[in-house]
Structure 1
């Protein structure tokens, strides 16, 4: 059973069917799902949320300076973190947003030991602003923050995909799901779990990853209880 976990969320989870923007109802539903799953456990929870519902540097920033486009995306993750914080606190869960890009009026600056202290006090910590530097994805941020705070696992939340497959199950009826993989399997088979930098860092540090369907009822609660859900990726 995990004591401290990092949950990686897609920004699209806040958008709903439109796939764009922040829908307060979707944010509230997501927050309730997380709060209810954690209720009655001692799991310390940190979250990294992406910004793809607001901005994608490669797509929206075409023609812009690449670093500038990435910084805009990082600001989008802070907006999502604030929206999720609001929803979680309305659901009764004390939450802190910590940003790698300093903006004291809306978020605490990211300080590793302060983040760990919040977790020890039962607060959920949402990391925004990426890792403060361009050219890195929120997958890499998730891995970095998990290692920094001593998380035991990265939980990669998906929507309507219940694990890692050898090909896209939404396009191929014969796609095969893996129950377990090694980090090296993911790299060598070029499976789309997270970007190469993130998966290599997990492999080097022996950090497990679980890929699962967040919207399958009870999945997150089962993970918090230490049950097997989705695909587990770990060292050989």
Structure 2
């Protein structure tokens, strides 16, 4: 990539990483490394935008699938780095009357109410959720109740507002959130491992992308990620 133009370092990051990435970007800027522009959305949407030529320097995905998809298209400047881990949980509004659990009685206890989750066809959180529900034998019975959302943050927002009875999100989404409570957690073996890979992008500013990737792997960034409920790889 030629010498850097007068634009901020641009990071495309999975929606579920919004709180820690905003904090880490501030730390990076305060250390005198220049401006950072963060773009958050579902990993699938971001990957397609990158493939279509959107200007970005680094991609942080919520699963390996979309990173591999970009690699196959020659969109990465190097091998991805496994950066973060997470877990999948069932949540409810904090004032929900009856606690829901992940067992054969879930459909009955919902009683016609809705359950929000990210789109299982394209969004990592939804893909993991479908795998987990199928593994537990709950997927087919829950079909009438499921509301498909654009990403995990949209799912969380719906539960926060009490517009649905429950939602499936990452464990990190529940940390320090007073408007929702964790009702149950999915067994780790019920879905593929939740891994967040990061990679510098072929059409971005490689030196600046690599510098930010190294910062994401620093002790300061690790402390932020842990505080927001993420595991480190």
* TM-score normalized by the length of structure 1: 0.25
- Which one scores higher on RCO, CA 8 angstroms, separation ≥ 6? 2
